[in-house]
Chain A
Amino acid sequence: MNFDNIFKEIEKADPEVSGRLDTRRSALKNFANYGGKLALTAVPLAFGSMFKKAYAGTTSTKEDVLAVFNYALTLEYLEAAFYSQALLSPNLLPAGPINQAIQLISAHETAHVNFIKAAIEAAGGTAVESPTFDFSGGKGSGEGSFKTAFSDLALFLAVSQTFEDTGVRAYKGRAEELLGAGELLTAALQIHSVEARHASYIRYLRKQAGSGVGNLKPWITGNMSGIGTNLVQASYNGEDVTSQASIDIININGFPISADAASEAFDEPLTPADVLMIIDGFLVP
């Protein structure tokens, strides 16, 4: 984390910041003073409150960035809560590699929540509260189609895959709005690729472990979910495009690139409306 760079970015985006340089300097100094005493996990939060001080009493000029980050935060709350609950569920995750992998993914999602909250506060915004989730997909009834997700490993991994693949698409769908946001855009990209690593792992695990997943690969082939229900299909619709920026990828320049490979080679974005529709069943109104 390069704190100094983030300060420079905020100065660039908001020329008025120079008037707060003294605050900034003392914030940095404060951080230097307290840095050694802070537990490592507290760093993102400390970084957030430090910025909040520097921006106290001003109106943010970064509404777009804040909106994107609060959107991302909501998705990270969903994922973090999902994995926390899985780790608390007896007899769901077999001891060994699977349990360890879910612990790692869970730690990343929790770190993302803390990091994004800190970034939002740093930019002078207010982080949204976490919604209440119903991971059965029943909108609060607890009786949705995924109600055994925390006792049935195969179903749990299918939901996990859907959340991770959807997360990758969701970040991509709002990348444009972070154009010019410097370090904040970089951070969003750095979270985005971690979600893709998670998705790849879960997909590979499902293929290695299970039947009924078709020819599931770490990458997305066509609009195939590898999940035996239409309920998650919206997370995969539109992934089957084989042309990018009007350039046809199939057999491009005479190289034998199949339609499957052409679709796999590029992940596609999802609009916020699509994403909210996908996660709607998991939100308690």
Chain B
Amino acid sequence: MPKIKIPQSRLLADREAIAQVSRRRFLGYAGAATGLMAVASSCKKEDMQSSSTTLEGVDLGSGDPGILNYAYALEQLEAAFYIKVIESQFSGITSNETSLLTDIRDHEIAHREFFKNALKEAAIIDLEVDFSSIDFGSRDSVLSTAKAFEDLGVSAYNGAGRLIVTPAYLVLAGKIVSVEARHAALIRELIAAGTFADETAVDMVTGLDGAKKPADVLAIAQKYIKTTINASNLPTY
């Protein structure tokens, strides 16, 4: 087992946060955004499916709520990963790395919770992750996984943008994807200088970053998610 360092203040903060969230869940998200309420109320059918786990897995739903749930699922995965990275820091981590990875953790938690509140009743359940293939004590293992997740996240948002119908959601996805791209570039630089946008990330002929369809993204992400995700009702192209 790798040596696990958990700052006590952090642990207490997390416990308090979890307690607060539990209370809020119990009470319901009474103060959640009015701007996005239309989504939640316009997709009651999806609600019935998306909040339950069936034999086919957790149904992301259809239309824009389905795409938002898709993003929510990926943000759940990323947030869970970085929470674990900061809880059990790899050996030899520098203060610079701790600071940057803590920032990224907070960004991913912000994204995750944003989608949860935006989706309200349409939000899928909390997914169970499977990080058994990751050695959190190893810098190589952690950073290569981070790189894979961030590049995948960029490709996922880039590939899903065209499936969004509501203009405001497209802009929101845009606000998030460029932050994921900033993460991806930084993680790549931590691994090897000059790789922030090399030919493994960006096509050298067109200058285009990656773009992947939801089905292709989930096929890769599912390895790290125990809960089966059902994307069969998502819009496609």
- Residues of A whose CB lies within 8 Å of any CB of B are 1, 5, 40-41, 43-44, 97, 100-101, 104-105, 107-112, 115, 168, 171-172, 175-176, 179, 181-183, 185-187, 189-201, 204, 217-219, 244-247, 249, 252-258, 261-262, 264-269
Contacts and interface: CB of A to CB of B under 8 A. Distances in A.
A191 B207 contact: yes
B34 interface: yes
A254 B178 contact: no
A192 B177 contact: yes
Contact of B181 (A107, A185, A197): A197
A110 B204 CA distance: 10
Contact of B106 (A176, A199, A258, A269): A258
Interface of B: 13, 16-21, 24, 32-36, 100, 103, 106-107, 109-111, 113-114, 116-118, 154, 157-159, 161-162, 164-165, 167-168, 170-172, 174-186, 189, 193-194, 196-198, 201-211, 237
A184 B159 CA distance: 11
B189 A115 contact: no
A28 B184 CA distance: 36
A247 B186 CA distance: 28
A196 B178 contact: yes
Contact of A247 (B33, B201, B209, B211): B33
Contacts of A115: 206-208
B182 A196 contact: yes
Given A245-B118, A252-B114, A254-B24, A186 B161 contact: yes
26 contacts: A40-B205, A43-B205, A43-B206, A108-B207, A109-B207, A175-B174, A185-B161, A190-B209, A193-B158, A193-B209, A194-B197, A197-B181, A197-B197, A197-B202, A198-B185, A199-B182, A200-B196, A204-B186, A218-B182, A246-B33, A255-B17, A255-B21, A256-B17, A257-B110, A262-B110, A265-B106
Contact of B32 (A198, A247, A262, A269): A247
Contacts of A100: 194
A217 to B, nearest CB: 7
Nearest to B25: A253
Contacts of B174: 171-172, 175, 189, 192, 267, 269
Given A186-B161, A218-B186, A246 B35 contact: yes
A195 B175 CA distance: 13
